[in-house]
Amino acid sequence: MAADITKNLYVYCWVSFCVLFMFTKLAKSDNYIVHMDISAMPKAFSNQHTWYLATLSSVSAKSKAETNPTISFSKLIYTYNHVIQGFSASLTPAELESLKNSPGYVSSVKDRVVKVDTTHSFEFLGLNSGTGAWPVSSFGKDVIVGVIDTGVWPESESFNDNGMSDVPSRWKGECESGTQFNSSLCNKKLIGARFFNKGLIAHISNITISMNSTRDTEGHGTHTSTTVAGTYVKDASYFGYAPGTARGMAPMARVAMYKALWEEGAYTTDIIAAIDQAITDGVDVLSMSLGLDGVELYEDPIAIATFAAIEKNIFVSTSAGNEGPDVETLHNGTPWVITVAAGTMDRDFGATLLLGNKVSINGLAQYPGNFTSNEFPIVFMDTCSNKTELSKIKQKIIVCQDPGKEDSLNDQFNNIQAAGNIAAVFITNSSSVDVFAQSPFPAIFLVQKDGDTVVDFIKSNTDPKASIVFKKTILGIKPSPRVTSYTSRGPSYSCPLVLKPDIMAPGDSVLAAWPPNVAAARVNQDLVFTNFNLLSGTSMACPHVSGIAALLKAVYPNWSPAAIRSALMTTSDQIDNTGSPIKDIGGNLRPADPLAMGAGHVNPNRALNPGLIYDATVQDYVDLLCGLNFTQQQIKTITKTSSNNCSNPSLDLNYPSFIAFFNDRGAKPNSTTVVEFGRTVTNVGDGSFTYKANVTPINGLKVTVEPDTLVFKTKYEKKSYKLSIEGPKQLHKAVLFGYLTWEDSGKEHVVTSPIVATSYKIEK
């Protein structure tokens, strides 16, 4: 009898274990960001945190996933104070459904993986110590820039605080200790260092964080933060390339690092916790080289968090993404931030190929190793597709002709690398050549015309020889700037009626500080290390604008984020250093349109004196959200209040650019329509000014401005105008564009805004 009871009990326990195991498998927890209505908090609770804990405890009990009320502590990830009214938590599907019935619940979104968009630039931008934005802004003195990234290498010379005054008393931030990071590592330059990974840990069970502190183990954060505000470092270079004195855009600004991007992953729960803390700490500018793709504004935690930042008058700079040259690939199309595209500089890194007949030819190269200057036999191997023949060649320079097919240059590169030859010369017109320039083996890349010279030399000599000299830095490259091929293009998915990107900045081969224990490159099979690295991407363009915004913030501390954005956009350059329209590498070197480069290439010195600004208030953004036909709950998710004033809904934000969609595919032939925009500009110049409008002709469209003259008698006076675009209901071209320019009679100010008409249709 006892044996039967024991047996039955064993069977019962085994079945119970199996059921529990299956339930656990089926009821897998996930991270959610939960928006709550603070007005629904019962008076019994002293603060939001305790209310959220009690709510989670109740949810856990109701779902029967756990009956222990203390489980709420393990389920809660963050309580947010500014970026949203709410919290993040690890919830099972049953718990999430139960939570939706809790008092005060507004909405929730699942945690998402975030995409990271990964010396000479200050000179290229016209910044100098004698005149312009640097001396006028005192080099960004005392402006505090918060950077959300992979952390910092605090020992870098770029963070030295020589000559800096005491930390501003308004600063509330801290320097947190952690693994290999002591709070004493902060100084008057690096004034804050915090790290956020609770969301990451909740996502991945039994995870081991390799560096549980603000110390940078990837390099990205050290690079971006010193691009923003690195101090002066002499004799900086990347293995001899780009030699000189390195410095950031705002060398006297302060840096606060918020590490929320980890080698192990990056999630929105941690990123918005970092933004939340940055707001509390008192940053003036936020720089974020990251983003989410294809997300509605009310479902984008980063967009929602940055709305809270601009409510606190914090300027937010973001990267456009690296998914170009395709259109509609841009992220951070948020109307209240600035979205930055990447351009080239007037600097190239290369090598010189010296032929035996004394002819020298320059090409692109970033080979980081040392290479002998001796002559070697040089041989032409056509497309370098025969791996067997390539492997037979020893101690010769091999020349390859790129046939121009998809991935053909990549195939050649891999073939040469596998063969292990002395050096290679690639003849190519590929727009992606920069990807291969930082080669682990000696390689130089030539354009077709120069390649033909090399091939002719080889074929006309019985014993052709050549040598290669690497580590050349060439300045004054023309034309420049150009739009990079990889920079993501608009229109924006989240808000297509606001033209994005906003502006372009240097993003190609940018030199900035780097952790000395993180490999910067490879020479053959060996990793090599350096204190400064060359990186490319909109990740590098974004901090340029963040730093320049810090300069403007130092001069105009009371300007709104929209005013600073306007000043940057309307004074940007559309013309390159040859006097021609800026070209787009990803568009076969055609003139770049604003969907690729925004208003133009940033010009810090001109931005200092914009003449007119297009300002926007928080209510203007609310009017836009109302005009987008968002529900009250969706708007509340963004604004954190139920008392949103939607009495004046408008899709026409007071923005320094214009985009009109002519995409009625069912329109009758030759039928036309008119799209109208209303704008208000504020005179920020000293004294009275009369501005006259001018619109560049756009073939197939009729653009009018009314009135076409604006007279300002006093500083801060506002004037309004209307811009109308008449065109076919269905545009026959993908993009048409031009520019509206307001110029004052004394020609002191030229205020330029891009105009785009497009047939693109955003599919949602």
Instruction: Quote the CA–CA distance of 595 and 492 in Å, as a whole number.
Output: 9
Give the per-residue pLDDT at 130. Answer: 80
Q: How confident is the model at residue 416 (pLDDT cuts 50, 70, 90)?
A: very high
626: which 2 tokens? 């109302």
Give the per-residue pLDDT at 18. Answer: 38
Instruction: Quote the CA–CA distance of 299 and 317 in Å, as a whole number.
Output: 20
Per cent of the chain over pLDDT 90 is: 85
Q: Are the C-beta atoms of residues 501 and 605 closer than 8 Å to each other?
A: no
- Decide if pLDDT at 683 tops 60: yes
Q: Are the C-beta atoms of residues 689 and 744 closer than 8 Å to each other?
A: yes
Q: How confident is the model at residue 131 (pLDDT cuts 50, 70, 90)?
A: confident
Amino acid identity, residue 383?
T
Give the per-residue pLDDT at 458. Answer: 97
Give the per-residue pLDDT at 125. Answer: 65
Give the E-state strand segments of 172-284 in sequence order: 190-195, 233-238, 241-246, 254-259
Give the per-residue pLDDT at 194. Answer: 98
- Decide if pLDDT at 7 tops 80: no
Instruction: Quote the CA–CA distance of 293 and 19 in Å, as a whole number.
Output: 39
Of the candidates 654, 713, 655, 715, the one whose C-alpha atom is nearest the C-alpha of residue 683 is 715
User: What is the average pLDDT across 353-366?
Assistant: 96
Q: Tell me which residue has tokens 């770029």.
A: 158
Q: Which residues participate in catalysis according to the annotation?
A: 149, 220, 539
Helix axes 301-311, 632-639, angle to 10 degrees: 60
Q: Are the C-beta atoms of residues 52 and 79 closer than 8 Å to each other?
A: yes
User: What is the average pLDDT across 208-224?
Assistant: 96
pLDDT one-digit tens code per residue, 98-112: 999 999 999 999 999
Give the per-residue pLDDT at 501. Answer: 98
**H or E stretch including 450?**
helix 448-459
Per cent of the chain over pLDDT 70 is: 94
Report strand pairing: 290-291 vs 241-246: unpaired
Residue 703's alpha-carbon distances to 658, 674, 747, in angstroms, are 11, 9, 23
Diameter of the chain measured on Cα atoms: 108
User: What is the average pLDDT across 704-725?
Assistant: 98
Q: Are the C-beta atoms of residues 149 and 261 closer than 8 Å to each other?
A: yes
Higher pLDDT, 206 or 365: 365
Amino acid identity, residue 208?
T
Q: Tell me which residue has tokens 């990271």.
A: 116
Q: How confident is the model at residue 614 (pLDDT cuts 50, 70, 90)?
A: very high
- Decide if pLDDT at 4 tops 70: no
Give the per-residue pLDDT at 8. Answer: 41
Q: Is the pTM higher than 0.85? A: yes
**H or E stretch including 413?**
helix 408-419
Mean pLDDT, the chain, integer: 92
Give the per-residue pLDDT at 119. Answer: 43
pLDDT one-digit tens code per residue, 155-200: 999 999 999 999 999 999 999 999 999 999 999 999 999 999 999 9
Give the per-residue pLDDT at 623. Answer: 97
User: What is the average pLDDT across 680-706?
Assistant: 97
User: What is the average pLDDT across 586-611?
Assistant: 97
Q: Are the C-beta atoms of residues 400 and 433 closer than 8 Å to each other?
A: no
Give the per-residue pLDDT at 3. Answer: 43
- Decide if pLDDT at 660 tops 60: yes
Instruction: Quote the CA–CA distance of 185 and 237 in Å, as a whole number.
Output: 24
Count how many residues are written for the chain. Answer: 764
Give the per-residue pLDDT at 17. Answer: 34
Give the per-residue pLDDT at 124. Answer: 63
Q: Tell me which residue has tokens 């809904």.
A: 649
Q: How confident is the model at residue 135 (pLDDT cuts 50, 70, 90)?
A: confident
Give the per-residue pLDDT at 275. Answer: 98
Angle, vertex CA 617, rays to CA 614 and CA 621, nearest 5: 100
Distance between start and end Cα atoms, the chain: 68
In terms of average pLDDT, the best of 71-75, 429-433, 473-477, 501-505 is: 501-505
User: What is the average pLDDT across 21-37?
Assistant: 72
- Decide if pLDDT at 122 tops 80: no
Q: Which residues contact 497 (CB under 8 A, 6 or more apart)?
A: 628, 651, 653, 659, 661
Q: How confident is the model at residue 16 (pLDDT cuts 50, 70, 90)?
A: very low
User: What is the average pLDDT across 41-68?
Assistant: 81
pLDDT one-digit tens code per residue, 306-328: 999 999 999 999 999 999 999 99
Give the per-residue pLDDT at 27. Answer: 56
Q: Which residues contact 130 (CB under 8 A, 6 or more apart)?
A: none
Helix axes 561-570, 538-555, angle to 10 degrees: 110
Give the per-residue pLDDT at 764. Answer: 72
